[in-house]
Structure 1
Amino acid sequence: MKVFSSPSKNLMYLIYRLVSPIIDPVKLYTGLIGYFWFTWDLIIYTIKSPSSRLLTSNIYPVLDEKVSFTPFDAHYYYQQLWVFEHVLKSKPKKHVDVASTYQMSGYLSKIVPTTFIDLRPIDTSLHNLEIKRGDMLHLPYEDRSVMSLSCLHSIEHVGLGRYGDALDPMGTKKACKELSRVLAKGGKLYISTPIGKDRICFNAHRIHTPKRIISYFNQLELVAFSVVDDSGVFHEQARPEDYRSQNYACGMFLFERK
């Protein structure tokens, strides 16, 4: 969640967050503007191709893609590359992904047999990909039994009810404990989560300082840390303490059980 230096901007952003789930003022504005050029393009296209039949019933306006640069979510883009590269290098026999994006588990299944566990599993069938319905607080594995494990941009949601899970103020801490429980000796755990100043943005997510996340995995050793900062810049080799005052960065933690 963005935090501005101006109180008035923060107030306006709060109003926007409250209203946008019902009516998004930004999309409404850009949509109205978009219809002007859409109508103009439609007229010009019809003039240039008089023989084409553009049936009104087939018109399908797309009004928000005339941009100079393709917008993308830096957190999700870089975290998936980060995990994929590490798993490719470590060459585990199997990998377990818990509640990351379904794309991530699909990509990983192309280089290693992968199990994808989610509260809301996807309905698909791919070679090398096993899908299980599961709760991050009760993973279907014995203690210290998983050698390669990932959980990307997910622990911050546990216990906020956003995805139909039970409300639990200690949800993130409990999820970290459960992930630690199943990690085997010598195993690698890949975690990403929003980092910055501690706060709860109910019911979207929590934001934690890097120090707090590391403390939640106190049974494990942090062996690498990368980050996408508030400006969307990826830093592969970073120090957690340098990012404790960010607003909404993405910390990527590689833990091992020694």
Structure 2
Amino acid sequence: MFRSLTVFLRLFGIDILRLVSSLVSIPWYIRQYFFFIRHQKDSFFPIDLYPILFDRFESASALGEYFWQDLFVAQKVLSLNPRKHVDIGSRIDGFVAHLACVRQVEVLDIRPLPVNINNVFFTQWDITEPNPAFFGIYDCVTCLHTLEHIGLGRYGDQLDPNGWSKGLASLSLLLQPQGVLLISVPIGVQRVQFNAHRIFHPSTIVKVASLNGLSLSNFHHLTHSGSFLEGDLGDFDFLAQQRYGLGIFCFTRS
């Protein structure tokens, strides 16, 4: 019950564990402050109070699923070396940044991008409204942790229970024949966690993709250790019984 409560409150920006950790650390902070005052001999550095109370409990890096996903798919795209690649809705400060270090990246997103980034060419676009200007011109399309949100209104999009399938149909239209589509979505017991995201049975993604001329080339799922394991259709029913996981699907347009 406590774990469920902490997860629920975190949705409203209240992190009980971090709050308790901070409160427990206040005496430590005061001791550290006065020790530093006594031993500081360099008067060029006036001291302001700016307490950071929990970082000492954290590991060197917090490597979550977004980190592993962004790294994994960026390596895939670089190995494919597509002539013309576009990304839809993935993290600018993760996946797109990895690619922009070494190549140009075209980005489409329903949200505005208020800054200019070297090697990133941005267009604001709602993927549920197909735009013929983008049809059939890309040999590689990526869309990471995006489809599950479309139609839930979380990012200012219109409410649409079928928004995700419309989005997947639009992705297929962007591809040239034999073009590659790389997408990631949460997988597990199929449901909507409103208004955060959907979780898919892996077969749901494959079936709708096939209706739009896409053939599954390979599939990977993320393990708890941060490794991506290659799977096949036989894994889908097992993965669909899990509470939550991450699946990466690679499709080819026929």
**TM-score, normalising length: structure 1:** 0.86
Distance in 1 (alpha carbons) for counterparts of 2:14 and 2:102: 42
Q: 2:192, 2:198 within 8 Å by CA — same for their partners in 1?
A: yes
Q: 1:95, 1:112 within 8 Å by CA — same for their partners in 2?
A: no
Aligned length: 247
Counterpart in the other structure of 2:179: 187
Tell me how large the CA RMSD over aligned residues is. Answer: 2.3
Q: What is the letter of the counterpart of residue 226 of structure 1?
A: H
Shift of 1:216: 2.0
Residue 80 of structure 2 corresponds to residue 90 of structure 1 = yes
Residue 103 of structure 2 corresponds to residue 109 of structure 1 = no
Q: 1:93, 1:113 within 8 Å by CA — same for their partners in 2?
A: no
Shift of 1:43: 1.8
Distance in 2 (alpha carbons) for counterparts of 1:172 and 1:232: 29
Which of these residues, 59, 73, 77, is aligned with residue 67 of structure 2? 77
User: Larger deviation: 77-86 or 93-102?
Assistant: 77-86
Which of these residues, 130, 151, 158, is aligned with residue 150 of structure 2? 158
Q: 2:6, 2:15 within 8 Å by CA — same for their partners in 1?
A: no
User: Larger deviation: 129-138 or 106-115?
Assistant: 106-115
Distance in 1 (alpha carbons) for counterparts of 2:7 and 2:247: 26
What stretches of structure 1 of length at least 5 have no aligned partner? 1-7
Shift of 1:50: 4.9
Q: 2:145, 2:186 within 8 Å by CA — same for their partners in 1?
A: yes
Counterpart in the other structure of 1:257: 253
Shift of 1:22: 5.0
Call closer, same or farther: CA 1:207–1:20 in 2, change over 3 Å. closer
Q: 2:84, 2:137 within 8 Å by CA — same for their partners in 1?
A: no
Counterparts of 1:104-253 in structure 2, within 5 Å, are 104-140=95-131, 141-218=133-210, 219-229=213-223, 231-239=224-232, 240-241=235-236, 242-253=238-249
Call closer, same or farther: CA 1:15–1:113 in 2, change over 3 Å. closer
Shift of 1:172: 1.4
Distance in 2 (alpha carbons) for counterparts of 1:127 and 1:73: 26
Distance in 2 (alpha carbons) for counterparts of 1:69 and 1:101: 23
Counterpart in the other structure of 1:24: 15
Q: 1:74, 1:228 within 8 Å by CA — same for their partners in 2?
A: no
Q: 2:65, 2:226 within 8 Å by CA — same for their partners in 1?
A: no
Moved runs in structure 1, 4+ residues, more than 3 A?
A: 50-56, 139-143
Distance in 2 (alpha carbons) for counterparts of 1:118 and 1:36: 46
Distance in 2 (alpha carbons) for counterparts of 1:22 and 1:128: 34
Q: 2:188, 2:244 within 8 Å by CA — same for their partners in 1?
A: yes
**TM-score, normalising length: structure 2:** 0.87
Call closer, same or farther: CA 1:36–1:172 in 2, change over 3 Å. farther
Secondary structure of the corresponding residue to residue 160 of structure 1: coil
Shift of 1:51: 4.8
What stretches of structure 2 of length at least 5 have no aligned partner? none
